[in-house]
Amino acid sequence: MFNLKLEKNFISHLFFLEARFCLLKKFKHLICYYIKISVVFLEIQRDNICYYLFKPNPIFPKKLS
């Protein structure tokens, strides 16, 4: 397992890269990447999944925050 700080940075980069890739392709597919990231995240650190998925984040539209 990564240490907590590294996990947080790793997840942040995944969110950013996946969201950016999706926005460059088709915005409507964002939810698919969001779900894919959720699965990756759950494997890394289940306890804080809600914090990362539901915290306000300007990368994502309000409806997904």
pLDDT at residue number 2: 43
Q: Residue 50: pLDDT band by 50, 70, 90 thresholds?
A: very low
Residue 24 exposed, middle or buried by CB count within 10 Å (0-12, 13-18, 19+): exposed
Length of the chain: 65
pLDDT at residue number 39: 58
Domain regions of the chain by residue span: 4-57
The rounded distance, in Å, linking the Cα atoms of 50 and 52 is 5
Give 13-42 pLDDT, tens digit per residue: 555 555 555 555 555 555 555 556 555 555
Is pTM beyond 0.85? Reply is: no
